[in-house]
A = this chain, B = another copy of it.
Amino acid sequence: MASDGHGSERQRAASRRLSAIAGHLRTAGQQQRPQVAGIHCKAESSSDGEEAARSTTVPRRRQEVMKWNGWGYSDSRFLFNKKGQAEFTGRRYRLSGMVLPSLKDWFESTFGASLQHKSPATATLNASAVPFPSLNEAFLQDLKSTGIPFSHEAEDRVFRAHGHCLHEIFALREGKFGRVPDLVVWPNCHEDVVKTVDLACRHNVCLIPYGGGTSVSSALECPPDETRCIVSLDTSQMSRILWIDEKNLTAHVEAGIVGQDLERLLNESGYCTGHEPDSMEFSSLGGWVATRASGMKKNVYGNIEDLVVHIKMVCPRGVVEKSCQGPRVSIGPDIHHFIMGSEGTLGVVTEVTIKIRPMPEYQKYGSVVFPNFEQGVACLREVAKQRCAPASIRLMDNAQFQFGHALKPQVSSIFTSFLDGLKKFYITKFKGFDPHHLCVATLLFEGDRERVLQHEKQVYDIAAKFGGLAAGEDNGQRGYMLTFVIAYLRDLGMDYYVIGESFETSVPWDRVLDLCRNVKERIVRECRERGVQFPPLATCRVTQTYDAGACVYFYFAFNYRGLADPVNIYGRVEHAAREEILANGGSLSHHHGVGKLRKHWMPESISDVGIGMLKSVKEYVDPDNIFGSRNLL
């Protein structure tokens, strides 16, 4: 590995630069230029006792707070209580401790399900059902002398064996384990990663980087036929903000930090990145870079490619990074774009310089009701055309609007429910909106107060031209508040024979309506043809706007009771849905990525020459396929 070569090349460049700077130093009568020597600048290394100082929310032993066979925190889950009302347990979320009285009826009528028909998960992780680790003893020996923490305990390994695709969670709930990592390592800093990768190359060990474990593309799945020792390289302990640069509004951060910690720590200094993917509680900076992540408020803050200023990645060939932090450059093809989207196949992202912004002075939610989805899409298209989109604007279809109603927490006051009733009357009877066609857009504005109010007016004026009716801040706020609990709902569904998944695409504006209609129709047809007993839920939402198109997000779920191989049926319907998306002009993915789940369509998506380009980079950077997740290609 060329890490030493990288070091001395950088040292030589640094010497030359210091020498150039020194040329400007003058003192009276000085004949020769002063000598300036460089010293390596590094953050203090920390020991285990300082883990608290790192302020990581998710500990090294994830099992202390996370579920082993479902989404999120162990203490937070949906359940139906004895009265048949849905509750959300725990104390972490705004919704926590609340009762959702309408959810049961919606659930039973939407899926033809019944609370009597239970399909519970295996309660505890049976360590003895986990395959023994297949350890590379020479690697382990060398690893021990580095002092880098590691484990080959069953729980640690199972936790890092999967992402959150339906088939992965379904298998866990059945207590089934496929190929899992043999070893987990927790490097603490960039140098630890350099050592780990070096050892992996020397001993031919397979490395799979692990950030937040939120992949929904089967990216984290271990290839079942991988015979080498598989090491899960968990970046979670490499999570410090190394410096904040207030002059340039950037922060240099270790790539293992997760979204919630990054924002929380930056907020302490009055800053934020504003990058808020739905997975941000658990997903990591390195993972965002590796998958080309997108965040809810990209209209203000940009997507990951707009946010990063500098990336450092360790790969078998060495360390790759640019030597300057210029905001925009023309120095050949942009190597940041060789790293972004590489989905763990080239190396480990260790440090990232990311743009930060002062926290917004003011935030305001909003919502607009449209008579139908077509009008809503036309409104979003016009907002995009006028380039006046709020920080976030999302349009849900009628089915999601009804779903949103089912998620309303129990209202404590008669007055509030009276108000709700009034609103409903106004919208349906007075304004003539049909409750089976109307749609809702949720909005979030951010910025200085005066400009937010101006901006708000502009957007509502446009909405009115498309028959949109302002429906208040509450509805908007609730829409966004639900964002982080939606993922917990799937686990509830799976307790009652309902399985489902989300998937997404990006598509030009003129194809949006056809794509939404055709994909939903195709899902319904495919389910019927495959013997699904009750029509599926197929619903969509326009979740981002761009100049030349939009991001569309689908939810698809169905009742699998009576079916022999539900996961297989699910997979084939999803495959057909993706074919339908592509046929209608949509892309393979807007932000979830390709992983192993969508590799099949890569040649068609980027052409054979494109595939060849990616392969040539892989073969150069990682000729022995140390980073053997087999994503993408």
Contact = CB atoms under 8 A, between A and B. Distances in A.
A193 to B, nearest CB: 14
Q: 8 nearest interchain CB pairs? A: A326-B587, A20-B583, A337-B337, A326-B506, A327-B546, A616-B620, A17-B583, A327-B549
A507 interface: yes
Nearest to A631: B332
A383 interface: no
A341 to B, nearest CB: 4
Interface in A1-29: 2, 5-6, 9-10, 13, 16-21, 23-24
Contacts of A5: 608
Contacts of A328: 294, 303, 506, 544, 546, 551, 590
Interface string A576-594: 0001101111111111111
A594 B329 CA distance: 10
A229 to B, nearest CB: 25
20 contacts: A6-B607, A9-B604, A19-B583, A20-B582, A23-B525, A247-B510, A248-B508, A248-B510, A248-B549, A249-B548, A319-B607, A323-B605, A325-B508, A328-B551, A331-B605, A332-B593, A332-B602, A615-B620, A616-B617, A617-B617
B608 A21 contact: no
A317 interface: yes
Contacts of A602: 331-332
A309 B548 CA distance: 8
A549 B588 contact: no
A258 to B, nearest CB: 19
A459 to B, nearest CB: 14
Interface in A258-315: 291-294, 303, 305, 309, 315
A550 interface: yes
Contacts of A609: 2, 6, 315, 317-320, 621
A619 interface: yes
Interface size class of A (residues with CB under 8 A): 35 or more
A518 interface: yes
Contacts of A24: 518, 521-522
Nearest to A314: B609
Interface string A320-360: 11111111111111110111111100000000000100000
Given A23-B522, A24-B518, A582-B17, A323 B590 contact: no
A385 interface: yes
A147 B19 CA distance: 58
Contacts of A605: 322-324, 331
A323 B319 CA distance: 33
Nearest to A522: B23
Interface string A195-220: 00000000000000000000000000
